[in-house]
Structure 1
Amino acid sequence: MNDRIPNIAAVDLFCGVGGLTHGLVRSGINVRAGVDLDPHCKYPFEANNNAPFIERDVNDLSSDEIKSYLSQGEYSLLAGCAPCQPFSTYSQSGRSKKRVLDWQLVLKFGALVADLQPDLVTMENVAQLAHHEVFSDFLKYLTGYSVHYSIVECTKIGVPQSRKRLVLIASRMSSVGLSLDSQFGAPLRTVRHEISKLPAISAGEQHKTDPLHTAPALSDMNMRRIRASKPGGTWRDWDEELIAACHRKTTGATYPSVYGRMEWDAPAPTITTQCFGFGNGRFGHPTQDRAISLREAAMLQTFPRNYKFLPKGEQVRFNRLGRLIGNAVPVRLGEVIGNVLMQHVRSVEAGETAVLPDRLF
């Protein structure tokens, strides 16, 4: 196989702060633009990626608005991850008008693919989407494409976080090499690998040279709770007086993974939009008496240590930044997808052929 770097021009739909984009760029793909309706994504996307941010609701996006960006390379790629919250709470028996509109984002992505006919397509989303009718409807837009999709456990590709995601890769050119299997087997990355070298801070403190390395203050009760918490343990390890009333109930007893510390030598739990809160999951620092900082959360999402999320002097808002970080595609996952796409194009150029089984791995 040749080692020439193919010139793939990409547009990242639902780009957020640029997790998928940054990973694709690391693999050698030229992301020409990112599209998202959240204005708070503009600064981090543009400050870290050499591409413009288009503030648009993808539902209202026309093909003509992005066609010129896709034409700037030898090959074109349409990439994206429609917002995932609706999929994890979707109920077949209780479909509402709002839920139907939520699904529309996935189908809009498919309609843009059908209209623009890019050479390559990739979609990343929550694993549950693979089992819903809307995913089958999305696949109908990929007529003429070779398609491979699988559920990826991110720890297998070097993400220091337990996170299962649906990854789809499609090509109009060939079926060769569309699987992520070649990227599995990366050394296990742990919390220690990722964040242990960051300077220590206290709950409620912001590091003087990195505003994102900040953790919210803890109440007196929560300070007592975190001091009683063991890495990898649960609130069941506490003295009775520390246990919250809701957890004494039968229903609350089934949620042991809140108010817990991470373990140094294991991957982190899934980083969520509320990852900065000690009581929202196992988001306590392994040894320091605080929740993980926003910077630590971003690094566990495999953003580089120096990734910029805020203009200089702008106030840190935990809810906003937690949402942006938790909703991001891990950079490493984006890089792995990009590696597969680059290898695929090289295989096409080398004239290799293969037939993939049509099944879910």
Structure 2
Amino acid sequence: MDEMSLKTANSASLPTADSGTPPKLIDLFCGAGGLTLGFVQAGFRPVFAIDDDRHAAETYRLNFGDHIICGDIRQIESFPAADVVIGGPPCQGFSRLGKQTHGLPTEKSYEGNGLWAEYMRCVEQAQPKLFVVENVPDFFKHFAWEGIQREAARLGYQLAHAVLHAADFGVPQKRQRAIIIGSRVGKPRLPMPTHQQKLNLLGQPVWRTVRDAIGDLPLEPNNINRHDFRNASELSIRRYKAIPPGGNRKNIPDEIQLPCWKNKNPKSGGSADLMGRLLWDQPALTIRTEFLKPEKGRYLHPQAHRSITVREGARLQTFPDDFKFAGSNYQAAKQIGNAVPVLLARRIAETVLALMFETDVMTARSAA
């Protein structure tokens, strides 16, 4: 999109919601739209979104419409009005993986983390009733969190924040996300868990499992709807076959170990989940962007001797089967791994919608 288009994001060409229509939504750093989809399922209508990844932006457009801009948020001069703003400022440098190579970031040493300020600039211009920020758990340890607190107070927003476990909200995945809800229309709160790890007196259902999510898909990929077969070498398949459910690279016999693992000093640490095999009756571990590569994490199918497919990864992130992904399978996997689990997003959206409704009721009673 050209520079002029970037500067007129609030022009009349963008969809606008009339009175009585669903609340309007802006999604910043939207990626494929996992957050947006959860909010749409809860009753919101997206009117503006932006991301600088062209494949992710095309995925968003295919599923939600032409109000997506592919570009640099810093080039947007003004944002449209909306009831709610959501999004996750890029988190490179915040994650544990980032710390292994880059150390803890500072505001001066890592310019990309300053994108939190662009998010709050949108909040200031769009004047939403509420906003939602999501990020990695370590987000709460860094200057960006301090900056958001400072700007939220200046703009008159109260905050509620916590690290939420996706499995507690029906997602078949052990994935943790930092969630912040800001409100200028009342005291904010976070969603209450809907699931639990084990049965107890609360009577909630237990965590959903890998079997719940992908157990009905063919063990042999049928190349339908991104459930695609990937070629693997004979040696790779021998390694896969050596790994039992719940096992990992340490189960591979020495004679077929990768040299970088075979010669690794046991005392030097490193992830034990590389070349890990999922368990049918437990949630998956975090699905990251390279889940098509078994050597990158616990991504082996619980039973078949292969990595999980794009479709299986999408199911574990609670994307519905009719959601369309643009780009190659590797590009789709990147979008899926970067997304907020849709069901977690929906639980957050339902809480935000309830807060808006409660505020409207209180306002109506005060005016009566």
- TM-score range for the pair, normalised by the shorter chain length: 0.7 to 0.9
Q: Report what 1:334 is aligned to.
A: 345
Corresponding residue SS for 1:326: helix
Runs of 4+ in structure 1 over 4 Å off: 90-97, 182-186
Could you say if the C-alpha distance between residues 308 and 93 of structure 1 is closer, same or farther in structure 2, counting changes exceeding 3 Å?
closer
Could you say if the C-alpha distance between residues 148 and 164 of structure 1 is closer, same or farther in structure 2, counting changes exceeding 3 Å?
same
Which of the numbers 185, 193, 198 marks the counterpart of 2:212?
Answer: 193
Does structure 2 conserve the Cα–Cα contact (< 8 Å) formed by 1:215 and 1:276? no
Separation in 2 of the partners of 1:327 and 1:287?
Answer: 26
Which of the numbers 21, 29, 47 marks the counterpart of 2:62?
Answer: 47
Q: TM-score, structure 2 length as denominator?
A: 0.83
Could you say if the C-alpha distance between residues 218 and 208 of structure 1 is closer, same or farther in structure 2, counting changes exceeding 3 Å?
closer
Pairing of 1:1-361 with structure 2 (within 5 A): 7-50=22-65, 52-63=67-78, 66-68=79-81, 70=82, 76-88=83-95, 89=98, 95=106, 99-143=109-153, 144-175=156-187, 178-181=189-192, 183=194, 185=196, 187=205, 188-201=207-220, 207-210=222-225, 212-248=226-262, 249-250=264-265, 254-310=270-326, 317-351=328-362
Separation in 2 of the partners of 1:217 and 1:16?
Answer: 28
* Aligned residues between the structures: 328
Q: TM-score, structure 1 length as denominator?
A: 0.84
Does structure 1 conserve the Cα–Cα contact (< 8 Å) formed by 2:93 and 2:103? no
Does structure 2 conserve the Cα–Cα contact (< 8 Å) formed by 1:215 and 1:291? no
Could you say if the C-alpha distance between residues 327 and 94 of structure 1 is closer, same or farther in structure 2, counting changes exceeding 3 Å?
closer
Separation in 2 of the partners of 1:296 and 1:94?
Answer: 34
Could you say if the C-alpha distance between residues 229 and 102 of structure 1 is closer, same or farther in structure 2, counting changes exceeding 3 Å?
same
How much has 1:133 moved relative to structure 2? 1.7
Q: Report what 1:355 is aligned to.
A: none
Does structure 2 conserve the Cα–Cα contact (< 8 Å) formed by 1:216 and 1:277? no
Corresponding residue SS for 2:174: coil
Could you say if the C-alpha distance between residues 29 and 93 of structure 1 is closer, same or farther in structure 2, counting changes exceeding 3 Å?
closer
Separation in 2 of the partners of 1:82 and 1:30?
Answer: 21
Separation in 2 of the partners of 1:117 and 1:184?
Answer: 34
Could you say if the C-alpha distance between residues 345 and 93 of structure 1 is closer, same or farther in structure 2, counting changes exceeding 3 Å?
closer
* Deviation per residue, 1:156-180 (Å, 9 max, x gap): 011111111000111111005x222
How much has 1:245 moved relative to structure 2? 2.5
* Deviation per residue, 1:279-298 (Å, 9 max, x gap): 11110011111100011111
How much has 1:14 moved relative to structure 2? 0.7
Does structure 2 conserve the Cα–Cα contact (< 8 Å) formed by 1:34 and 1:51? no
Separation in 1 of the partners of 2:220 and 2:323?
Answer: 19
Corresponding residue SS for 1:40: helix
Does structure 1 conserve the Cα–Cα contact (< 8 Å) formed by 2:90 and 2:113? no
How much has 1:51 moved relative to structure 2? 5.7
Separation in 1 of the partners of 2:177 and 2:56?
Answer: 22
- Which one-letter code corresponds to 1:56 in the other structure? G
How much has 1:95 moved relative to structure 2? 4.8
- Across the aligned residues of Structure 1 and Structure 2, the Cα RMSD in angstroms comes to 2.2
Answer with 245-254 or 334-343: which moved more. 245-254
- Which one-letter code corresponds to 2:29 in the other structure? F
Unaligned residue ranges in structure 1 (runs of 5+):
71-75, 311-315, 353-361
Could you say if the C-alpha distance between residues 136 and 95 of structure 1 is closer, same or farther in structure 2, counting changes exceeding 3 Å?
closer
* Deviation per residue, 1:104-149 (Å, 9 max, x gap): 1112112221333221100111110111122101211112111101
**Larger relative contact order (CA 8 Å, sep ≥ 6):** 1
Separation in 2 of the partners of 1:184 and 1:10?
Answer: 27
Aligned-pair identity (%): 30
